[in-house]
A and B are shown apart, each in its own frame.
Chain A
Amino acid sequence: MMAGSQWELPPELCCRPMAFVALTGLDVVYNAVHRAIWDAFCANRRADRVPISFKVLPGDHEYPKCRTKRTSYEWYIPKGILKTSWMNKHLNLVPALVVLFYELDWDDPQWKEKQSECATKVEIVRTSLQGRNTKVAVVLIQKKTPLPPGEDLVASERAATLCNACDLSGKSLFVLPHTDHLVGYIIRLENAFYEHAQTYYYTEIRRVKSHKEFLNKTTHQLLFVRHQFKIAFFSELKQDTQNALKYYRTAYSLVHELRAHETNMLEIKTMAGFINYKSFGELFDEAIKLGLTAIQTQNPGFYYQQAACYSQDRKQLAQQLCQAGATPSSEPGDTNTGGLDFYGQRPWRQGHQSIDPPDAEKEKTGILALQIKERDVPHSELIIALLSNAVAQFKKYKCPRMKSHLMVQMGEEYYYAKDYTKALKLLDYVMCDYRTERWWGLLTAILTTALRCAYLMASVKDYIIYCMELLGRASTLKEEHKLRIEKNLIQVLMNEVPDAEPECDPSSDVAARSLWNDRMALAGSNELTIEVQDYITFIQCKAKFQCPSFHVDQPIQLQVFLRADSPHPVSFKKLSVSLSNQEYNQWCVVESAGQESMSLLPGKTKSHNFSFVAKTDDVGKKIELTGIELMLGSDSGRCVFLNWRGAGGDAASTHEALQASRSSRQWRREVEARKELDWDSLTMQQSTMIISRVPKISVQLRHQPPALNNEMYCINVTIQSQEAVVAKGLKLTAGLKPGQDANLGQTTHVSLDGSKVCDDTAPALLPDVPLGDLKPGEKDETVTIDTVVPFEVSVKFVSTKFEPLDQVAVDIPFLLMTDILSLSPWPLLLASSSLELITMNTNTQQQQSQLQEALANSNNTVATGQYLISWRRKSSSADSPFIQTVITLPHVILESVPLYIHAELPSYGRVRESLSVRYHIENRTSLVQEVEMAVEPSDAFMFSGLKQVRLRILPGSEQQMLYNYYPLMAGYQTLPQLNISLPRCLTTNTHTLRRFLPQRIFVKPQGRQLDEASIAAA
């Protein structure tokens, strides 16, 4: 917090206002009890106790007289804004409350006398406070502990009479038993006093406010300010910080409205300053501590910053105005406020409110005295203190950039105060922020100041660094300045004193010169190493390995690119690169021979190529660039080693490379046209891998993808060595690439033997097949092979009538049809197919190999079995084995049939020839079945046999019915329909049975009678 004294603010303004309470009737010198009470009030006034300032005054103390209050302000012209005595008066002279201490017990034998004595004392106090609103309270010091309230009837009665006698309210009479718990009682008393004081200040505020209506704007402008200030001050005494702040603000805005002219300028400013001090610096801060939330854009830091800003203005004005008057004037002492009536008025013209100064001569000496005083003020210190306050605030409110800005200002102020070390420290600290944010204009400004500091301190290293950065591409300096700096830098490198920086104070320049001369004379310290990576120096460096990896038998190519941004060519003596394996370092050095040096042309990229062969020990290892060192200067003068870590680059190069890559699409063509390296798009390659040499062996694979599922997929590998010598002990590994789906590994098998079908025992990977000499090394060749299913087999169950079946009836023949559809892009050769049924009692009648279909009559079971196809590619060689693909047949649903009927008839009939049809009816139940059977008449047939019959079939037995059909028409004819009904078995009816019977029959036309004759005729 700023100390008010250094701002020449009166102490009463700067202290924390506290309610003033006067204690009378205590004899602290001679009375031990009174002493103890007083001590209890004074001692340990910590923050948790109420803010009251206590004073012991004699009972007949004369309080400041209250002037008779004006009833009208009409003819009153104020002489100033605020009287110098006013604040002190209310802080230390006019109490808010006067407390009279009196020793009196309730059962005192001389009660009457004592009561009247007490009343007299109260009266005396009242008289001396005449006209003021100060409260009066009485404390009775008692020896006995009081009984609880209400129990001591004497006490309450006597208390009432005492109040009456003293003209006090019951609330203003207190009892202080002088017992063990003194401090406790005192704290309770204090709190009561504090409440009274609050009331007093509240009424005072009301009183001052009430003046307002009497004022008019023309003559009483000063009073407006005065009153607002007073209200605010009373609010502060009342500890009402927020309202105080409000009133101070109003006062401040009222000050702005004052008519200002030469003579009252200082007064107005002083008042404004007072109010400003009150309201904005500390009060604000304090209010925040009490819970007012500040925001980023409104924090006390701004006021500190503004204050610092005005202090800077003040310093400049002081420098301009206060050069005169070297000898102190005869009466400078009068400038302090000691003898003044109003704050901020010149001592030689007090109370004067007109425009012209009353005494020109006095005015002149007065001003001179003030100027001399001003000259001796340590401006920079004040500014720095304010700035550091502001920095602390901005740090608190998350304003990193504002903080940096203020730190720059602080650094500059230290520079003005000639404390260059501190200045440099601050500037160096913030420079980095501006560099990373890429505000080059600001960076240049800071660097310029820093360079001046470094010059004046003769700090060689800093001087060189700042020179190098100011010459760099980030500097916004004009060419002429760059030329001057470059010249200075060259001088320093030659161990000579550089020219002074412009705008340096001539007196400090002389000192700097001698410092530089001392430095130059000092031997042995003329080698400097500078880590330049974090700056943006005028020499840029980037290095790259030509490739991210080199085979051990190839020379490693390393390129170092250098570029200078200075106005003139820069010469250097030596360039060396250090690598992670230091054995190679010797190959990566260029040094100028003798006196001549290598030079970099401004704006041109120069590249140095190094090449060396890696050691075989380094196979499989990484070689990294650890640093690049460039030597400037010479052994005779001063050597400066610029050191880049890693592969070079600097604080700005990453961003530039990014920009370059963004624009590469647009500009590549142009760059190519220029045939010149684009510096920004040069990428660095910090490390390279040393890998083993490539064997000169070719591997060729011959195969026909896609592979078919289940097939033996043949891959021919041809290995050819082009090595000059015999390659020995080489091995081949073939198989699935590891790390794929586990299922794939389980279902894929690899075999070297192409003539045999490999089974599940064959592995998925054939490791290390020895191949003998002159053959390949382990070579990674990955082939992706698509697999397709060779054919699709669909299986259908159909009835003997080729009707598709959902379910198969037990003990009734059906057909199994397989369709094989080839999906392979190549012709396939199907060698054979076979059916493997699960149940033993199959009665397979025929098994046709070849593609058409396989027929099988079988009886039940749910799972039916497998269908095997053996095949191979048609294109494969004749000795390659057949592959057997197994197709699992679908499951069937079985149904049992109670009654089965089937017909036995020839495959065709002939018109007008008898056609005998035998129907077999089987009873498959364990019951005797009664069957009613009828044959429906048909147009196409005549028939003989039982037209309608009713018969019984025993369990498990069969009944045969024979009909002779006599076809009448040729072609496909529907056979006469059989109607069968089973009265005992209702689940079976004609429809369910009919499916077993043939529907139609082909009837051939009648043959010619003269067959032989026609043949003979032919």
Chain B
Amino acid sequence: MAVCIAVIAKENYPLYIRSVPTQNELKFHYTVHTSLDVVEEKISAVGKSLGDQRELYLGLLYPTEDYKVYGYVTNSKVKFVIVVDSSNTSLRDNEIRSMFRKLHNSFTDVMCNPFHNPGNTIQSKAFDGIVSGMMVPTG
């Protein structure tokens, strides 16, 4: 279960970012922001070799002492970042993958909304619900 989930626009500004309320929100913002360094590097490295046959899931971006940060990039260069507590060892790579897939599907639904302007921050109850389902339950 994630402690922070973020959707980042192609231009690298946040479209959606939510973290567990029990912890320092700012810290997660910094964690997600700094992880973009690795995402950018990975995208550019892959872009050179494989062209468009890119795996969307980027895997573990970088481990810190407290958290593991995973990344996923859609074909339109929208980035998803999931931060997981390092102590949570039960979570497997496959589960992370499926979390990203679910997130991507829900994100696609948001984009299909004719009233949503792509590039604006995501304000969707359905998306909120999906994200909440993936977050560490609090309270």
Chain A residues within CB distance 8 Å of chain B: 296-297, 302, 306, 309, 398-402, 405, 408, 437-439, 441-442, 445, 655, 658-659, 662-663, 666
- Top 10 closest pairs, chain A to chain B, by CB: A438-B13, A663-B117, A399-B37, A297-B62, A402-B34, A401-B37, A401-B34, A405-B34, A441-B29, A659-B119
What is the predominant secondary structure among interface residues of chain B facing chain A? mixed
Contact B117 A402, beta carbon cutoff 8 Å:
no
- Chain A residues within an 8 Å CB radius of B33: 401, 405, 437, 439, 442
Q: In this assembly, does B47 line the interface, its C-beta being within 8 Å of a C-beta of chain A?
A: no
Contact B115 A666, beta carbon cutoff 8 Å:
yes
What distance in Å separates the Cβ of B104 from its nearest Cβ neighbour in chain A?
22
Contact B37 A442, beta carbon cutoff 8 Å:
no
Q: Please report the C-alpha to C-alpha distance between residue A619 and residue B104 in the assembled complex, in whole angstroms.
A: 57
What distance in Å separates the Cβ of A666 from its nearest Cβ neighbour in chain B?
7
Q: Please report the C-alpha to C-alpha distance between residue A971 and residue B36 in the assembled complex, in whole angstroms.
A: 102
Q: Please report the C-alpha to C-alpha distance between residue A445 and residue B117 in the assembled complex, in whole angstroms.
A: 27
Contact A306 B13, beta carbon cutoff 8 Å:
no
CB contact under 8 A between A309 and B65, given known A438-B13, A442-B26 = yes
What distance in Å separates the Cβ of B83 from its nearest Cβ neighbour in chain A?
15
What distance in Å separates the Cβ of A182 from its nearest Cβ neighbour in chain B?
54
Interfacial residues of chain B within 1-51, with CB under 8 A of chain A in the complex: 11-14, 17, 25-26, 29-30, 33-34, 36-38, 41
Contact B11 A441, beta carbon cutoff 8 Å:
no
Contact B26 A441, beta carbon cutoff 8 Å:
yes
Chain B residues within CB distance 8 Å of chain A: 11-14, 17, 25-26, 29-30, 33-34, 36-38, 41, 61-62, 64-65, 114-115, 117-120
Q: Please report the C-alpha to C-alpha distance between residue A408 and residue B34 in the assembled complex, in whole angstroms.
A: 12
Contact A401 B36, beta carbon cutoff 8 Å:
yes
- Chain B residues within an 8 Å CB radius of A441: 14, 17, 25-26, 29
- Chain B residues within an 8 Å CB radius of A398: 37, 41
Given contacts A401-B34, A408-B30, A442-B26, 11 further A-B contacts (CB under 8 A): A297-B61, A309-B65, A399-B38, A400-B37, A437-B12, A437-B33, A439-B29, A441-B14, A441-B29, A659-B117, A666-B114
One of A296, A302, A405, A659 near B120 (C-beta < 8 A) = A659
- Chain A residues within an 8 Å CB radius of B29: 439, 441-442, 445
Contact A296 B38, beta carbon cutoff 8 Å:
yes
What distance in Å separates the Cβ of A781 from its nearest Cβ neighbour in chain B?
45
Q: Please report the C-alpha to C-alpha distance between residue A662 and residue B118 in the assembled complex, in whole angstroms.
A: 8
Listed by A's residue number, 5 A-B pairs whose Cβ atoms lie within 8 Å are: A296-B37, A399-B34, A399-B38, A655-B11, A659-B119
What distance in Å separates the Cβ of A272 from its nearest Cβ neighbour in chain B?
13
Contact A666 B26, beta carbon cutoff 8 Å:
no
What distance in Å separates the Cβ of A308 from its nearest Cβ neighbour in chain B?
12
What distance in Å separates the Cβ of B44 from its nearest Cβ neighbour in chain A?
10
Q: Please report the C-alpha to C-alpha distance between residue A297 and residue B17 in the assembled complex, in whole angstroms.
A: 23
- Looking at A441, A659, A662, which has the most chain B CB atoms within 10 Å of its CB? A441
Q: Please report the C-alpha to C-alpha distance between residue A565 and residue B64 in the assembled complex, in whole angstroms.
A: 39
Residue of chain A at shortest CB distance from B44: A398
What distance in Å separates the Cβ of B136 from its nearest Cβ neighbour in chain A?
20
Q: Please report the C-alpha to C-alpha distance between residue A302 and residue B36 in the assembled complex, in whole angstroms.
A: 16
Q: Please report the C-alpha to C-alpha distance between residue A659 and residue B114 in the assembled complex, in whole angstroms.
A: 15
- Chain A residues within an 8 Å CB radius of B17: 441
Residue of chain B at shortest CB distance from A441: B29
Q: Please report the C-alpha to C-alpha distance between residue A460 and residue B25 in the assembled complex, in whole angstroms.
A: 31
Q: Please report the C-alpha to C-alpha distance between residue A776 and residue B59 in the assembled complex, in whole angstroms.
A: 75
- Chain B residues within an 8 Å CB radius of A296: 37-38, 41
Q: Please report the C-alpha to C-alpha distance between residue A402 and residue B36 in the assembled complex, in whole angstroms.
A: 9
- Chain B residues within an 8 Å CB radius of A297: 38, 61-62
Residue of chain A at shortest CB distance from B14: A439
- Chain B residues within an 8 Å CB radius of A399: 34, 37-38
Q: Please report the C-alpha to C-alpha distance between residue A609 and residue B137 in the assembled complex, in whole angstroms.
A: 56
- Chain A residues within an 8 Å CB radius of B118: 662
What distance in Å separates the Cβ of B72 from its nearest Cβ neighbour in chain A?
16
Contact A662 B119, beta carbon cutoff 8 Å:
yes
- Chain A residues within an 8 Å CB radius of B115: 666
Residue of chain A at shortest CB distance from B61: A297
Contact A405 B30, beta carbon cutoff 8 Å:
yes
What distance in Å separates the Cβ of A144 from its nearest Cβ neighbour in chain B?
65
What distance in Å separates the Cβ of B28 from its nearest Cβ neighbour in chain A?
10
Q: Please report the C-alpha to C-alpha distance between residue A302 and residue B64 in the assembled complex, in whole angstroms.
A: 8
Residue of chain B at shortest CB distance from A305: B64
One of A302, A405, A666 near B117 (C-beta < 8 A) = A666
- Chain A residues within an 8 Å CB radius of B114: 666
Q: Please report the C-alpha to C-alpha distance between residue A369 and residue B90 in the assembled complex, in whole angstroms.
A: 44
Q: Please report the C-alpha to C-alpha distance between residue A655 and residue B11 in the assembled complex, in whole angstroms.
A: 10
- Chain B residues within an 8 Å CB radius of A659: 117, 119-120
Q: Please report the C-alpha to C-alpha distance between residue A296 and residue B37 in the assembled complex, in whole angstroms.
A: 9
Q: Please report the C-alpha to C-alpha distance between residue A441 and residue B49 in the assembled complex, in whole angstroms.
A: 36
- Chain A residues within an 8 Å CB radius of B36: 401
What distance in Å separates the Cβ of A436 from its nearest Cβ neighbour in chain B?
9
- Looking at A400, A402, A658, A666, which has the most chain B CB atoms within 10 Å of its CB? A402
Q: Please report the C-alpha to C-alpha distance between residue A445 and residue B65 in the assembled complex, in whole angstroms.
A: 23
Q: Please report the C-alpha to C-alpha distance between residue A398 and residue B34 in the assembled complex, in whole angstroms.
A: 11
Q: Please report the C-alpha to C-alpha distance between residue A931 and residue B110 in the assembled complex, in whole angstroms.
A: 102
- Chain B residues within an 8 Å CB radius of A666: 114-115, 117
Residue of chain B at shortest CB distance from A402: B34
Contact A437 B13, beta carbon cutoff 8 Å:
yes
Residue of chain A at shortest CB distance from B42: A296
Contact A442 B61, beta carbon cutoff 8 Å:
no
One of A402, A445, A655, A658 near B37 (C-beta < 8 A) = A402
- Chain B residues within an 8 Å CB radius of A400: 37
What distance in Å separates the Cβ of B34 from its nearest Cβ neighbour in chain A?
4
- Chain A residues within an 8 Å CB radius of B34: 399, 401-402, 405
What distance in Å separates the Cβ of A570 from its nearest Cβ neighbour in chain B?
26
Residue of chain A at shortest CB distance from B30: A405
Q: Please report the C-alpha to C-alpha distance between residue A439 and residue B117 in the assembled complex, in whole angstroms.
A: 19
What distance in Å separates the Cβ of B37 from its nearest Cβ neighbour in chain A?
4
- Chain A residues within an 8 Å CB radius of B14: 438-439, 441
Residue of chain A at shortest CB distance from B119: A659
Contact A662 B41, beta carbon cutoff 8 Å:
no
Contact B13 A439, beta carbon cutoff 8 Å:
yes
- Chain B residues within an 8 Å CB radius of A302: 62, 64
Q: Please report the C-alpha to C-alpha distance between residue A439 and residue B36 in the assembled complex, in whole angstroms.
A: 12
Q: Please report the C-alpha to C-alpha distance between residue A338 and residue B14 in the assembled complex, in whole angstroms.
A: 54
Q: Please report the C-alpha to C-alpha distance between residue A309 and residue B65 in the assembled complex, in whole angstroms.
A: 10
What distance in Å separates the Cβ of A299 from its nearest Cβ neighbour in chain B?
10
What distance in Å separates the Cβ of B51 from its nearest Cβ neighbour in chain A?
22
- Chain B residues within an 8 Å CB radius of A437: 11-13, 33
- Chain B residues within an 8 Å CB radius of A445: 26, 29
One of B11, B30, B64, B119 near A442 (C-beta < 8 A) = B30
Q: Please report the C-alpha to C-alpha distance between residue A438 and residue B114 in the assembled complex, in whole angstroms.
A: 25
Q: Please report the C-alpha to C-alpha distance between residue A297 and residue B119 in the assembled complex, in whole angstroms.
A: 29
Q: Please report the C-alpha to C-alpha distance between residue A408 and residue B62 in the assembled complex, in whole angstroms.
A: 20
One of B11, B25, B65 near A306 (C-beta < 8 A) = B65
- Chain A residues within an 8 Å CB radius of B12: 437-438
Q: Please report the C-alpha to C-alpha distance between residue A445 and residue B25 in the assembled complex, in whole angstroms.
A: 11
Residue of chain B at shortest CB distance from A306: B65
What distance in Å separates the Cβ of B19 from its nearest Cβ neighbour in chain A?
11
Q: Please report the C-alpha to C-alpha distance between residue A118 and residue B102 in the assembled complex, in whole angstroms.
A: 83
- Chain B residues within an 8 Å CB radius of A439: 13-14, 29, 33
- Chain B residues within an 8 Å CB radius of A663: 117, 120
What distance in Å separates the Cβ of B54 from its nearest Cβ neighbour in chain A?
18
- Chain A residues within an 8 Å CB radius of B62: 297, 302
Q: Please report the C-alpha to C-alpha distance between residue A405 and residue B27 in the assembled complex, in whole angstroms.
A: 10
What distance in Å separates the Cβ of A650 from its nearest Cβ neighbour in chain B?
16
What distance in Å separates the Cβ of A319 from its nearest Cβ neighbour in chain B?
18
One of B13, B30, B117 near A662 (C-beta < 8 A) = B117
Q: Please report the C-alpha to C-alpha distance between residue A840 and residue B8 in the assembled complex, in whole angstroms.
A: 90
Q: Please report the C-alpha to C-alpha distance between residue A376 and residue B36 in the assembled complex, in whole angstroms.
A: 39
Residue of chain B at shortest CB distance from A442: B29
Q: Please report the C-alpha to C-alpha distance between residue A437 and residue B37 in the assembled complex, in whole angstroms.
A: 12
What distance in Å separates the Cβ of B58 from its nearest Cβ neighbour in chain A?
11
Residue of chain A at shortest CB distance from B62: A297
Q: Please report the C-alpha to C-alpha distance between residue A400 and residue B35 in the assembled complex, in whole angstroms.
A: 10
Residue of chain B at shortest CB distance from A438: B13
